[in-house]
Amino acid sequence: MTHPSGGTKRSSWLTFRRRLLLVRTLLRSPATSGDLVAAINGELGEQGYPVAAAAALKHDFDALKGEYGCQIRYHRPSRRYVLDDLGELALLDLPDPCMEALAFLEASFPDGSGLPQHANLRDLLERIVLLLPPARQAQHRRRRSTMRLGVSRGAGPIDQQTLAVVKQAIDERRELCFDYLSTFDTEHPRRHRVAPYGITVRPEGHSYLDATVLEVTPRSGETTHAAIDYRLDRIVPGTAIVLPTMLPPARISPPTCTVRYTLAPQVSRRRDVAAYFPNTRIVYLPDGSAEVTGSVTNLWQARQILLRYGDACIVHEPPELVTMFRRTAQGLARLYECEGHTER
């Protein structure tokens, strides 16, 4: 004999589970009534919505609004339901250290900054806040983080189609080609075929594609199989194409060379010189200077790193990097002489 309350308990549990699934579906994105019914029935099968689901769906919406204060609205232009607020149906709470971390991320990536649009960070932060109880949401809005990441907001916009193609090539591990305007391509872009591996966002706000160079047309001194960081905003919009060729299981090792440079006493006397390169070895000399060696695969990037020392650094090897520094120094000398800034 079936216990008289058994069916009621099971029915109540299924109803609650169905409504919870509704909320979870709307948390992903706005959805049509058909999308919601399909999601629920896909999860619950025969225990989901009946064939005539409109009345049952409306009843569930009314219950979520009445019992928990959820704010669910119907967006007529798109014919989709939108979840604006969970009310008292809090699905997440966080300890105070995590709330501090959330405030830190909010301060580092405020609404309207360029970077989060590409990394979807704002969407993630807003979803986390939406899941918090009302009191914790209010506490979060009042909190002001004393720390934030030093990420510049001045980076140029990245073409969204280009970004999507680059991500596809990385995810599918396929070769990628595109037209690219480097610092030295002043008029015409050149065609690059690369093996793409990832995207890095640097503190100055620029986003870079980490890739291995396979071919450049026309060539201009690029080293085949060198590891290059391509600025995504310098890829010509509409030119990026995912190629059918798959990447090898292991990344092709780029040519490696040893860099050796000396730092003047004013930057090394405290014996806390930064190790910027793999296999770095630092020898502190009696006069307070330091001789540093390390392994590099990207001479252009090595030059950018060492230029931050200004005239407190002299590069000894490799010869190609010495030549790059000599040209830079000559260019700076010409620039400042022409502008009349030479010291007397």
pLDDT of res. 237: 95
Task: With cut-offs at 50, 70 and 90, classify the pLDDT of residue 2.
Answer: very low
Instruction: Delimit the CATH 1.10.10 region(s) of the chain.
Output: 6-85
Q: Is the pLDDT of residue 241 over 70?
A: yes
Range among 111-115, 186-190, 204-208, 313-317 rated most confident:
313-317
306 neighbors 313 (Cβ within 8 angstroms): yes
- Token code pair at residue 258: 């040893």
pLDDT of res. 317: 96
Place of tokens 């109540």: 12
pLDDT of res. 114: 58
Q: What is the pLDDT of residues 148-162, one digit of tens each?
A: 776 665 556 788 899
**Separation CA 168–CA 170 (nearest Å):** 5
pLDDT of res. 1: 42
Domain 257-338 has CATH 3.90.550: no
Q: Is the pLDDT of residue 204 over 80?
A: no
Instruction: Delimit the CATH 3.30.70 region(s) of the chain.
Output: 257-338
Task: With cut-offs at 50, 70 and 90, classify the pLDDT of residue 53.
Answer: confident
- Token code pair at residue 253: 């090792």
Q: Is the pLDDT of residue 7 over 60?
A: no
Mean residue pLDDT of the chain comes to 87
Average pLDDT over residues 77-103: 91
pLDDT of res. 189: 92
**Separation CA 117–CA 315 (nearest Å):** 40
**Separation CA 74–CA 263 (nearest Å):** 65
Instruction: Delimit the CATH 2.30.30 region(s) of the chain.
Output: 160-246
Strands 207-217 and 227-231: antiparallel
Q: What is the pLDDT of residues 228-237, one digit of tens each?
A: 889 999 999 9
DSSP summary character for residue 202 = -
**Separation CA 106–CA 122 (nearest Å):** 8
pLDDT of res. 259: 97
CATH code: domain 6-85 is 1.10.10
- Token code pair at residue 46: 């025969």
pLDDT of res. 254: 84
Average pLDDT over residues 291-307: 91
Regarding predicted confidence, which is higher, 261 or 142? 261
- Token code pair at residue 104: 């830190």
Q: What number of CA atoms fall less than 13 Å from residue 79's CA on the CB side?
A: 4
Task: Measure the CA angle with vertex 285, ends 282 and 288; round to 5°.
Answer: 105
- Work out the percent of the chain whose per-residue pLDDT is above 90: 56
Q: Is the pLDDT of residue 190 over 90?
A: yes
- Measuring CA to CA, how many Å separate 259 from each of 60, 226, 343? 67, 16, 31
32 neighbors 79 (Cβ within 8 angstroms): yes
Q: Is the pLDDT of residue 341 over 60?
A: no
- Asked which of 126-130, 161-165, 335-339 is least confident by mean pLDDT, the reply is 335-339
9: enclosing H helix or E strand? helix 6-28
Regarding predicted confidence, which is higher, 59 or 146? 59
The answer for residues whose C-beta is within 8 angstroms of residue 60's C-beta and 6 or more apart is: 15, 18, 19, 22
Average pLDDT over residues 126-137: 89
Provide the 3-class DSSP secondary structure of residue 51: coil
- Work out the percent of the chain whose per-residue pLDDT is above 70: 90
Task: With cut-offs at 50, 70 and 90, classify the pLDDT of residue 344.
Answer: very low
**Separation CA 156–CA 232 (nearest Å):** 9
Task: With cut-offs at 50, 70 and 90, classify the pLDDT of residue 147.
Answer: confident
pLDDT of res. 153: 59
Helix axis angle, 121-131 relative to 96-108, nearest 10°? 150
* Burial class, 30, CB count within 10 angstroms (exposed 0-12 / middle 13-18 / buried 19+): middle
- Token code pair at residue 50: 């009946």
CATH code: domain 160-246 is 2.30.30
Task: With cut-offs at 50, 70 and 90, classify the pLDDT of residue 210.
Answer: very high
199: enclosing H helix or E strand? strand 190-201
pLDDT of res. 230: 93
Taking alpha carbons only, the member of 104, 190, 117 closest to residue 148 is: 104
DSSP summary character for residue 287 = T
